[in-house]
């Protein structure tokens, strides 16, 4: 027989060592223990679920014994990363027999998100309404799941959860992003308070279920269109008009990766297959606006618990070698390198083995820059 009470209600080992065991994992293990001990019915439901599972898989019942001291943090229960798949399957079995509200109450928001990510189509973790009632933003959850699957090649807790938190939290964070300080640190000349007041930031979220598309709330879309290369971003506005955009998404190694740094110009006319743009972005003339966005991304990364900021190189850009209907290039390889690789170099980023440019958030806080020919250079790159 499966000894659920002796196995599942055992206290977590207090001598949980630091080798791979984070404070979050210990907190989660304690939450599991407290929840199960207070709810014997959950143990019974779990026992029935696991009995059925192991009978179907022809395994010995005693192999289902799960000791809480072996629980690691939520990320290591991700089936895509876990070496011992049955550990994740057992924990999912527990989650699957609990309503969404119980998971949130007993384990917290991260556990609810983890359970949904690893089995988004199941019925037993509450209906879609149950997930909404438990506090999940299903529109953003589905967007994060689809975007992560596209950008990272798989939808897992490590790829979906950080993006979900970013999509649901960026609007609330934006007011604390000090635009005046960022503008002053990236201005070519000193800006007056009156001039600074002409600028503003707006949150960008692509309007499709995928990782790219036009922003769903982009003002003046008919005259100042922009196509987002990542699901989230920040728009820089000057006197109420969009002047530039920076689009990004977290990747699995704890990096907020910048996919797009782009100025926004008004559209003058449109011919089949090609838009004609004219004029300039007046608010960008006095700024090293790429540096402004990169500085802002370090603040975003820090606020959302990410360790690094990255810049995608030209060779990975989705627009590389893309053409218009008439066969002409939308943007040259050289221009892409200028927009991304050269910006990363002059701001002090280092190229990683995967080709992406990176810098640790902690390291960025001590960087010093020099203004040269209208652009800022990290002192070591000047």
Mean pLDDT by 10 residues, the chain (382 residues): 35 37 46 58 55 45 36 47 53 67 75 78 59 88 90 84 95 95 96 96 83 64 73 93 93 93 71 52 91 98 96 91 81 91 97 95 92 92 46
pTM, full prediction: 0.77
176 and 131 in a single domain? The answer is no
101 and 226 in a single domain? The answer is no
Domain span including residue 283: 169-381
Residue pair 135/157 in contact (Cβ under 8 Å)? The answer is no
117 and 223 in a single domain? The answer is no
96 and 51 in a single domain? The answer is yes
Give the closest residue to 289 by CA, choosing from 364, 183, 366, 179: 183
For residue 178, tell me if it sits in a domain.
yes
- Judged by DSSP in three states, 206 sits in strand
3-state helix, strand, coil in the chain (%, to 5): 45, 20, 35
335 and 188 in a single domain? The answer is yes
186 and 77 in a single domain? The answer is no
61 and 195 in a single domain? The answer is no
Res 357: pLDDT = 97
For residue 339, tell me if it sits in a domain.
yes
Residue pair 280/289 in contact (Cβ under 8 Å)? The answer is no
266 and 346 in a single domain? The answer is yes
Number of domains in the chain: 2
Can you list the positions of beta strands (E) in the chain?
A: 199-205, 213-214, 227-228, 232-238, 241-251, 255-263, 267-271, 274-277, 308-311, 350-351, 357-360, 369-372, 375-378
- Measured between alpha carbons, how far is residue 167 from residues 39, 100, 118, 256 in Å? 34, 21, 19, 13
179 and 259 in a single domain? The answer is yes
Residue pair 45/98 in contact (Cβ under 8 Å)? The answer is yes
Res 70: pLDDT = 38
CA 34, 35, 37, 43: dihedral to nearest 10 degrees? Answer: -150
**Inter-helix orientation angle 40-56/23-38, to 10°:** 100
26 and 107 in a single domain? The answer is yes
Res 297: pLDDT = 98
- Biggest alpha carbon–alpha carbon distance for the chain: 76
Alpha-carbon gap, residue 142 to 371, rounded angstroms: 43
For residue 159, tell me if it sits in a domain.
no
For residue 302, tell me if it sits in a domain.
yes
Alpha-carbon gap, residue 335 to 146, rounded angstroms: 30
Final residue belonging to a domain, choices 116, 136, 156: 136
Q: Given the DSSP bridges, would you call strands 232-238 and 199-205 parallel, antiparallel or unpaired?
A: antiparallel
- Measured between alpha carbons, how far is residue 166 from residues 161, 163, 228, 249, 302 in Å? 9, 5, 16, 8, 12
**Residue 219 neighbours by CB under 8 Å, 6+ apart:** 202, 240, 242
Res 325: pLDDT = 82
131 and 179 in a single domain? The answer is no
Final residue belonging to a domain, choices 136, 160, 182: 136
For residue 303, tell me if it sits in a domain.
yes
The backbone torsions φ and ψ at residue 257, rounded to the nearest 5 degrees and listed phi first, read -95, 125
247 and 324 in a single domain? The answer is yes
Res 106: pLDDT = 67
For residue 162, tell me if it sits in a domain.
no
For residue 348, tell me if it sits in a domain.
yes
For residue 142, tell me if it sits in a domain.
no
Res 19: pLDDT = 37
Alpha-carbon gap, residue 136 to 194, rounded angstroms: 41
Final residue belonging to a domain, choices 87, 116, 136: 136
């Amino acid at each position: 027989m499966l000894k659920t009470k002796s196995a599942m209600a055992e206290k977590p080992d207090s001598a949980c060592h630091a080798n791979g065991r984070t404070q979050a994992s210990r907190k989660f293990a304690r939450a599991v223990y407290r929840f199960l001990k207070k709810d014997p019915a959950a143990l019974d439901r779990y026992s029935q679920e696991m009995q059925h599972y192991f009978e179907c898989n022809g395994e010995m019942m005693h192999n289902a014994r799960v000791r809480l001291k072996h629980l690691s943090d939520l990320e290591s229960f991700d089936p895509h990363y876990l070496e011992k798949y049955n550990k994740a399957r057992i924990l999912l079995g527990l989650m699957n027999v609990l309503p969404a509200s119980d998971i949130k109450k007993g384990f917290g928001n991260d556990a609810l998100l983890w359970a949904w990510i690893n089995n988004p189509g199941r019925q037993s973790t509450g209906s879609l309404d149950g997930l909404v009632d438990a506090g999940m933003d299903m529109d953003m959850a589905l967007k994060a799941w689809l975007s992560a699957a596209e950008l990272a090649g798989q939808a897992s807790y490590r790829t979906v959860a950080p993006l979900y938190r970013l999509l649901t939290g960026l609007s609330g964070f934006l007011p604390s992003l000090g635009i005046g300080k960022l503008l002053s640190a990236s201005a070519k000349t000193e800006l007056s308070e009156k001039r600074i007041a002409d600028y503003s930031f707006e949150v960008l979220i692509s309007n499709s279920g995928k990782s790219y598309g036009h922003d769903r709330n982009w003002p003046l879309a008919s005259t100042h269109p922009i196509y987002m290369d990542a699901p989230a971003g920040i728009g820089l506005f000057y006197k109420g008009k969009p002047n530039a955009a920076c689009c990004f998404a977290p990747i699995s190694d704890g990096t907020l990766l910048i996919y797009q740094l782009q100025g926004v110009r008004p559209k003058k006319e449109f011919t089949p297959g090609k838009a004609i743009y004219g004029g300039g972005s007046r608010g960008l003339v006095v700024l090293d606006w790429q540096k402004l966005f990169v500085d802002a991304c370090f603040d975003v990364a820090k606020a959302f618990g990410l360790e690094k900021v990255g810049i995608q190189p030209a060779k990975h850009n989705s627009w590389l070698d893309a053409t218009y209907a008439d066969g002409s290039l939308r943007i040259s390889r050289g221009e892409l390198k200028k927009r991304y690789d050269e910006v990363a170099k002059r701001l002090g980023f280092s190229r990683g083995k995967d080709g992406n440019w990176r810098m640790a958030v902690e390291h960025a806080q001590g960087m010093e820059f020099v203004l040269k020919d209208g652009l800022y250079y990290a002192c070591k790159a000047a």
